[in-house]
Amino acid sequence: MPEQNETTSAKVALVTGGSRGIGRACVLRLAQDGYDVAFCYASQSEAAEVVRKEAAEYGTRILPLQADVASGDSVRALVKKVGEELGSIDTLVTSAGVVRDNPLLLMTDEQWQQTLDVNLTGTYNLCRAVVFEMLKRRSGSIVTLSSVAGVHGTPTQSNYAATKAGIIGFTKSLAKEVGQYGIRVNAVAPGFIETDMVADLDPDHKSRMIERVPLGRMGKADEVAELVAFLASDKAAYITASVVQIDGGIVV
């Protein structure tokens, strides 16, 4: 069980994009670890309610909230609400993300901008909004979601890969800035994980992707959440500014 903080009976985690996929798995995993968990979603309130019910089975407080991570105002309101309802945030997981794939020649300005706004600016907005309280308390852990696309690049994903590479630079820089105040910041870079984000891929393309994975399958959201929960916890007390790949050894 996480240690208690001064305002609540359990540590408090905020997960973005918690209604589905990797974010959902993180909400469940952190609740299982005894955290009170707030999570945000963009629009799918029914999916969020299902996650709330599932996570509440672990006996901690679960708080779903609609928010647009791309908007600074929305994120500040989100963090304020979490503070009022659950207490100061000990752990932040930034999982909200979108893909808008297209070859560069066909990419629209909107596809480029939306991807940057949600993935990269969204990560900045969240970290910016929580870090002051963490600095005051001289503790906290942040886990950002990058991608193997950000490490190696992927055709038709120049926008997405730029955001995921940007998240790596952002994460390492922030970790170096706040490590002296007891705050750890790490990135997880998943490979090919079975979620809605990849559900619409053409089956042939999917098979070709799986052929490049030495472990011979897609990853599961639960497997990513296990790593996120470890990095967020005191078990990872000496790990910061790291990018941990979880990709079945994918050859890119």
At 174, is the secondary structure helix, strand, or coil?
helix
Known active-site residue 160: yes
| Centroid of chain to Cα 146 | 8
Q: Which is nearer to ligand NAP, 69 or 175 (CB)?
A: 69
Mark residues 169-208: x for contact with ligand NAP by CB under 6 A, - for none. ---------------------x-xx-xxxx----------
- Shortest reach from residue 156's CB to ligand NAP, in Å: 14
75 binds ligand NAP, rule: CB under 6 A: no
The catalytically annotated residue of 41, 124, 160, 238 is: 160
Which distant-in-sequence residues (6+ apart) come within 8 Å of 182 by Cβ? 138, 139, 140
Mark residues 127-156: x for contact with ligand NAP by CB under 6 A, - for none. ------------------x-x---------
Cα(188)–Cα(112) distance, rounded to whole angstroms?
A: 23
Cite the DSSP H helix spans in the chain. Answer: 21-32, 45-56, 72-86, 109-115, 122-137, 148-152, 158-178, 196-199, 203-211, 221-232
- Shortest reach from residue 39's CB to ligand NAP, in Å: 8
Closest CA to 37 of 17, 52, 21: 52
Which distant-in-sequence residues (6+ apart) come within 8 Å of 113 by Cβ? none
43 binds ligand NAP, rule: CB under 6 A: yes
- Shortest reach from residue 189's CB to ligand NAP, in Å: 7
Q: Which is nearer to ligand NAP, 5 or 114 (CB)?
A: 114
Region from 42-50, 55-63, 134-142, 202-210 binding ligand NAP, contact rule CB under 6 A: 42-50
189-200: b (≥16 Cβ within 10 Å) or e: bbbbbebebeee
CA separation (Å) from 21 to 16, 155, 204?
A: 11, 23, 22
At 191, is the secondary structure helix, strand, or coil?
coil
Closest CA to 36 of 19, 25, 17, 52: 52
Binders in 83-122 for ligand NAP, by CB under 6 A: 95-98, 118
Which distant-in-sequence residues (6+ apart) come within 8 Å of 115 by Cβ? 98, 99, 100, 159, 160, 162, 163
- Shortest reach from residue 128's CB to ligand NAP, in Å: 15
- Shortest reach from residue 115's CB to ligand NAP, in Å: 9
Q: Which is nearer to ligand NAP, 17 or 166 (CB)?
A: 17
Size of the site for ligand NAP (CB under 6 A): 31
Q: Which is nearer to ligand NAP, 42 or 231 (CB)?
A: 42
Closest residue to ligand NAP, judged by C-beta, is 21
Active site residues: 160
Q: Using CB under 6 A as the criterion, which residues of the chain lie in contact with ligand NAP when the complex forms?
A: 16-17, 19-23, 40-44, 47, 67-70, 95-98, 118, 145, 147, 190, 192-193, 195-198
